[in-house]
Structure 1
Amino acid sequence: MSSILTNSSAMVALQTLKGINSNLAQTQSEISTGKSVSSAKDNSAIWAISKVMESDVAGFETLSTNLATGQSMVSVARTATESITDDLKSIKEKVVAAQDPSADTEKLQAEVDELVSMISSKISGAQFNGINLINSGASDQTIVGSLDRDSTTGAVSANTITVTAQNLGMSSVAATGTVDVGSTDANAATVGADGKSVGAVIDKNTQQDIKFAGLAEGDTVELTLGSQKFTYKVTEADTLGTSSTEDIVVGKLADMINSAGIDGVTAIYDQANAGELLIDNADLAGSGATLEDLQMSVTLRGDGSGDLAGLDGFQVTDAAALTTIEDMINVAVDAAAAFGAVESRLESQASFVSELSDALTSGIGSLVDADMEEASARLQALQTQQQLGIQALSIANQQPQSILSLFK
């Protein structure tokens, strides 16, 4: 049956041509954009996944910048600390040289003073963008090392790397309490708010009294006897209970001194007088020890005093100078090692983030990028199909005209 009102062949040809044109438009879009999924309407699920991954890649690019900045910050602190360590070694050499009876201690002291001044400059100058990791009052810094996405909820959390500050400052924070050394002795003095040391000489077969008052949590007591140093920091537990804080500290110091076994020296916790410690330079145990005059110093430091505070007023002729400088060298070495370890970790993390970013970018490409070889071949096939479709539609549209011959 032929009809001039309904041309089924033309409708089929038209629908086929529309499908070909739609596929051709999609292929041309892939070729022009380079993506097989360029919008949510192309494939909503793949598009959503790719956008989440793209946001992660953008975050990792920022992380790489933050890690690079963190590396530079730590590198400055490490370099300065290593240099300070070398300076402290030079000071140790001067101290050792000063032990020679024929040494010119004035010149050695002048050289040490210059080294101390240089160390102070390095401490204050070791900053990156205003952040100093080695000065007094330096605070820990937190660097975001990665972004972790929960596989179940999709929630994102920051994984951080903490850079621990190393307090190599030379300042002495004021202690809360005070201490009297030999209140009846000619060398009597009181440690003031500046935390300076107070010294005395305990002659052989004599006794020296040390009285503490007003100690509080965070205060550090440094007591030097000859070449040995005893340090105790007041804790919160020391401030609690029925005994006074001073009595607890005196008891701790007495135990440390007596355990050290210094010939002829006995530390006595005077229970009759609160907060008083007696240092007896006499052979109380009858061991036959050869007694000598004993140089003593006592220092109070407040919480937060720099680890190199001992350089403030450092004297090469002090009896405990060698012990003091050796302690500071160890502190500086430990600080440099700590900075080196965290710098290495930051470098490793930066490399990981870079590789992870590349992997995610490659994954995104496999999801949404167009296969250009396939698209090119498909374009040529569709163009051929389009031409054939147009031809078929033209033939179908001519079919009703053949009916006219029936009426001639």
Structure 2
Amino acid sequence: MALSVNTNMGAMVALQNLNATNMELGQTQNRINTGKKVSNAKDNGAIWAIAQGQRATSGALNAVKDSLNRGSSAIDVAIAGGESVSDLLLQMKEKALAASDTSLDSASRTAMNEDFKALRDQITKAVANADFNGVNLIKTGASAIAALANADGSSKLTVSPEVMALGGSVVTVATTGTIGTVTTAAAMITTVTNSIANVSASLARLGTKAKAYEMHNTFIGKLQDSLDAGIGNLVDADLAKESAKLQALQTKQQLGVQALSIANQTPQTIMSLFRG
């Protein structure tokens, strides 16, 4: 290679190599700082786009879990209210059975009837108070709830109401039902017994739905964890590998600086040719 004071090819090559090393070193340092091998679209557009799509899905699953949690809470409150209704009905049956005894005196029958009416009215209070965030699945006029089941909202888990108000198809005891006479007491035994069976069936259905919500919520949590792990596989840097690479590049950078320094000394060799 010809010696020239205008063009120093050795220095040019050394500088190009040093710049390439510095660029690679910068990329490695960025990966170590961010913990990601793909931190933006410029690093790898295709991988970044895939990761963003999966992040959107993972984020949407947070809304699904919130919806399922609200639904679960509403069902749990409805079950608690229904169990109270069932307990009250058991006590009402006991009172009705006792009041059907023909040997009972008038004062005792009156006292039992008052207890029965108090229990009856307590059912109305229990049903009215079984409310969570404006949702009551056991009151008259209750609407079904539908929790989100997937990330795009195309699937839902629906729970139908189980109305347990007095005088309905489940609790057939009338709002004015009494056991003031032997005849009404005897009839009330059958009515309350049927109501107990109906409430038990309603609670069983609510319990099945509650279990379904819990199982689906667990699945959504596992699905979200899998998505997050998949995103990590796509974009996360191997820090052990990057650390080793950083050491090598730092050494390479030092050698590149020395090579450039040596190449820059070439013009001094030309000067020695003109010394006498």
The TM-score normalised by the length of structure 2 is 0.92
Per the alignment, residue 85 of structure 2 pairs with 84
- Pairwise CA distance, 1:310: 3.0
Aligned mates of 2:244, 2:136 — CA distance in 1 = 62
Larger Rg: 1
Aligned mates of 1:67, 1:309 — CA distance in 2 = 32
* Cα RMSD after superposing both structures: 1.6
Per the alignment, residue 118 of structure 2 pairs with 114
Per the alignment, residue 67 of structure 1 pairs with 68
**Partner residue of 1:347 out of 214, 223, 226:** 214
Per the alignment, residue 228 of structure 2 pairs with 361
Per the alignment, residue 262 of structure 1 pairs with none
Per the alignment, residue 226 of structure 1 pairs with none
**Partner residue of 2:177 out of 295, 314, 323:** 314
- Pairwise CA distance, 1:18: 0.9
Considering fraction of residues, name the structure with more strand.
Answer: 1
Per the alignment, residue 169 of structure 1 pairs with 165
Q: Note the alpha carbon deviations across 1:51-89, whole angstroms, 9 max, x for none.
A: 111111111222222222211111000011011111111
Per the alignment, residue 149 of structure 2 pairs with 145
Equivalent positions of 1:392-403 (< 5 A) are: 392-403=259-270
Aligned mates of 2:223, 2:130 — CA distance in 1 = 33
Question: Structure 1: 5+ residue runs without aligned partners?
Answer: 148-155, 172-304
Per the alignment, residue 42 of structure 1 pairs with 43
Which amino acid in the other structure matches residue 17 of structure 2?
A: T
Structure number with higher relative contact order (C-alpha < 8 Å, ≥ 6 residues apart): 2
Per the alignment, residue 242 of structure 2 pairs with 375
Aligned mates of 1:132, 1:48 — CA distance in 2 = 43
Aligned mates of 2:120, 2:46 — CA distance in 1 = 66
- Pairwise CA distance, 1:99: 2.3
Per the alignment, residue 275 of structure 1 pairs with none
Distance 1:325 1:309, change over 3 A: closer
1:105 aligns with 2:109: yes
- Pairwise CA distance, 1:95: 1.8
1:323 aligns with 2:190: yes
Give aligned-pair identity as a percent.
40
8 Å CA contact 1:135, 1:306 repeated in 2: no
Equivalent positions of 1:187-336 (< 5 A) are: 307-308=170-171, 310-316=173-179, 317-318=183-184, 320-336=187-203
8 Å CA contact 2:64, 2:147 repeated in 1: no
Deviating more after overlay: 96-105 vs 384-393: 96-105
Which amino acid in the other structure matches residue 107 of structure 1?
A: A
8 Å CA contact 2:38, 2:47 repeated in 1: yes
Aligned mates of 1:146, 1:342 — CA distance in 2 = 17
8 Å CA contact 2:124, 2:166 repeated in 1: yes
| Pairs aligned (count) | 267
Q: Note the alpha carbon deviations across 1:243-281, whole angstroms, 9 max, x for none.
A: xxxxxxxxxxxxxxxxxxxxxxxxxxxxxxxxxxxxxxx
Aligned mates of 2:221, 2:160 — CA distance in 1 = 25
Which amino acid in the other structure matches residue 75 of structure 2?
A: V
8 Å CA contact 1:136, 1:306 repeated in 2: no
Aligned mates of 2:133, 2:103 — CA distance in 1 = 48
Q: Note the alpha carbon deviations across 1:119-178, whole angstroms, 9 max, x for none.
A: 11101111011211101001101111222xxxxxxxx4432111111111226xxxxxxx
Aligned mates of 1:377, 1:164 — CA distance in 2 = 60
Q: Note the alpha carbon deviations across 1:307-354, whole angstroms, 9 max, x for none.
A: 435331112232532222222112211111111111111111111111
8 Å CA contact 1:67, 1:350 repeated in 2: yes
Runs of 4+, deviation exceeding 6 Å: none
8 Å CA contact 1:136, 1:170 repeated in 2: no
**Partner residue of 1:130 out of 127, 134, 153:** 134
8 Å CA contact 1:27, 1:375 repeated in 2: yes
8 Å CA contact 2:146, 2:157 repeated in 1: yes
Q: Note the alpha carbon deviations across 1:290-319, whole angstroms, 9 max, x for none.
A: xxxxxxxxxxxxxxx564353311122325
- Pairwise CA distance, 1:6: 2.0
SS of the residue 2:148 aligns to: strand
Question: Structure 2: 5+ residue runs without aligned partners?
Answer: none
Aligned mates of 1:309, 1:40 — CA distance in 2 = 65
1:16 aligns with 2:17: yes
Aligned mates of 2:201, 2:113 — CA distance in 1 = 26
Which amino acid in the other structure matches residue 62 of structure 2?
A: E
